[in-house]
A = this chain, B = another copy of it.
């Protein structure tokens, strides 16, 4: 019932202050969960880059990960403190229509061979 994590405000804002991390979080707000290769493809960065920033989000407790075969799926933590969830929502509502966040989602939608997405031709 209680949030499982405690997040210092300056830590939260430092996490959101980096464009790669913010873009990942915005994508993860649009979608229930995404794997690293999807985030990497959507953002257009190299895999270690995305992986490193996802690790920071994970260490802070903003996202959780689960393994399924070769893929590791990330999602926004379901046990965020209320005010953190509120900040994320406000931010998402404000920027989801702006660049580069719209493009990220467009690029993701056109990604071929996405894991978890059935390939019904």
Which residues of A come within 8 Å of B, CB atoms? Answer: 9-10, 13-19, 22, 81-83, 86-87, 90-91, 93-95
Q: A9-B16, A10-B18, A86-B90 are in contact. List 20 more A-B contacts (CB 8 A).
A: A9-B22, A9-B91, A9-B95, A10-B16, A10-B17, A10-B22, A13-B13, A13-B14, A13-B16, A13-B17, A17-B17, A81-B94, A83-B90, A83-B91, A83-B93, A83-B94, A86-B86, A87-B90, A87-B91, A90-B90
Q: A2 to B14: give the CA distance in the assembly, Å.
A: 28
9 residue pairs A–B, Cβ–Cβ below 8 Å: A9-B95, A10-B17, A10-B18, A10-B19, A13-B15, A13-B17, A14-B14, A87-B90, A87-B91
Closest Cβ neighbor of A101 among chain B residues: B9
Closest chain B CB from A22 CB (angstroms): 6
Q: A10 to B95: give the CA distance in the assembly, Å.
A: 11
Neighbouring B residues of A91 by C-beta, 8 Å: 9, 83, 87
Q: A83 to B81: give the CA distance in the assembly, Å.
A: 19
Closest chain B CB from A42 CB (angstroms): 17
Q: A15 to B86: give the CA distance in the assembly, Å.
A: 19
